[in-house]
Amino acid sequence: MFKHSNSKVLDRLILTSCSPLMETREDYTQDGTVDLHGRPVLASKTGKWKAAALLVGYEAFERMAFYGIASNLVVYLTSELREGTVSSVTNVNNWSGAVWMTPIIGAYIADAYLGRFWTFTIASAIYVVGMSLLTMAVSLKSMKPTCTDSVCGKATPFQIAFFYAALYTIAVGAGGTKPNISTFGADQFDEYNPQEKKLKASFFNWWMFSAYFGSLFANSGLIYIQDNLSWGLGYGIPTVGLVVSLIFFYIGSPIYRHRPLLKGSSPARQVVEVVTSSMANWKLKLPSQPSHLHELPPEYYINTGKQRIHHTPVFRFLDKAAIKEGSSRPPLTITQVEKIKLFCAMFVIWLVLLVPGAFWAEVSTIFVKQGTTLNGHIGGSTFKVPPASLSAFYTLTMILGVPLYDRYFVPLMHLRTSNSRGITLLQRLGIGCAIQIVAIAAAYVVELCRMHIIKLE
């Protein structure tokens, strides 16, 4: 947690002596959050749901904009820009990879230099520029291949360059918005306030619900507009929606809580410090007892409001960074080392989930292209389900499944396991991976049947 400096405490005392309402220190947030100008903030007038609701609303519109593009992108590339199936799938996957990799850079910039609010502000402007350029690319005739007697040629190099420049501008913008907006929302709830701590858990539930709701609208309404009315209208609606949500977001600026930027303490730097220190002490022998490793007294963590992390018997080689005797450099604390151990554990889980995660690339590429060859008519009606709207079933499953899981499965399993979450997080990951294996196998069988029917016809 963040340390309250003496100057900030003095500011609070001055505010207390001058205020007719006689605010005390308890009236301010206890987690070190401040306003946009770095001043302490009153807990009653800032943060909580009145601030977080604006962020939840933004997330719904942002997901609508993103999936309004991603879900039907392979169709636009093949039908409008005349790209081949293999080429279009590759290009969509490359763009999706950029969208999910740039947040690493955005998170680092926020932690080390600009903070979450200003990183999000700059990135959201880039995001809107990218959406606007993309809307122009799909709307203007000069940006699409020329057609004569229903026969269209290939897109020119300029048309292709303009379209992909707009796409990757969005990827850059997403890199700054995606990692910062959800954590900025979490900052609106004080961890030291029991009531606000409960609200934070509720915030993330509604955050996910709003994200899926925006995705559902994109995969149903926007996709239908793009396929049956106009690509320009299908991209223009989410662009306008994104701008409107940003306007409401900045209207709420006076009530937001901000984490003060602590220079020199970025997660990346902490990782480097622990790894280099453990390597420098590689030849030193670890003490038999963790209590012989370096750690600050409990009073330090109590007075500063920081959280102490106790020693764990995993990744023991990193403990050498906390050796006190014989080290050529100042020892790091057990808490500093344990933070990096948590990062290493997360990295291992990330590696395990790489293969299952690759499956989701098929949802917005191969699955959509397969959908173009299917009979999309419902019964004998003239209404045809757009191929890209097939992913709406995934979104509906999440919207319906999350409340059922939270309301029924968790309480039922809690009675049997005494775990507040019902089952452990690793068990949830394992079950999810098992279900994905079944889903991939089913997709394989369906594709075999589809190809068999195509050969017969």
Instruction: Name residue, tokens 């480097």.
Output: 272
CA 383 to the chain's CA centroid: 35
pLDDT tens by residue, 241-282: 999 999 999 999 999 999 887 665 667 788 889 999 999 999
What value, to the nearest 5°, has the Cα angle with vertex 229 and ends 228 and 234? 105
pLDDT tens by residue, 353-406: 887 777 776 776 777 777 777 777 776 667 777 776 777 777 788 788 877 887
- Domains of the chain are 48-261 (1.20.1250.20), 267-343 (no CATH)
Beta bridge mates, 258: 34
pLDDT tens by residue, 426-449: 888 888 888 888 888 888 888 888
**Across 191-199, average pLDDT:** 81
445 Cβ neighbours under 8 A, 6+ residues apart: none
Say what the pTM is: 0.76
**Encoded amino acid at 241, one letter:** G
73 Cβ neighbours under 8 A, 6+ residues apart: 92, 95, 364
Report the pLDDT value the prediction gives residue 266, as an integer from 0 to 100.
67
456 Cβ neighbours under 8 A, 6+ residues apart: none
User: What does the block give as tokens for 176?
Assistant: 């700054």
CA 322 to the chain's CA centroid: 33
CA 437 to the chain's CA centroid: 24
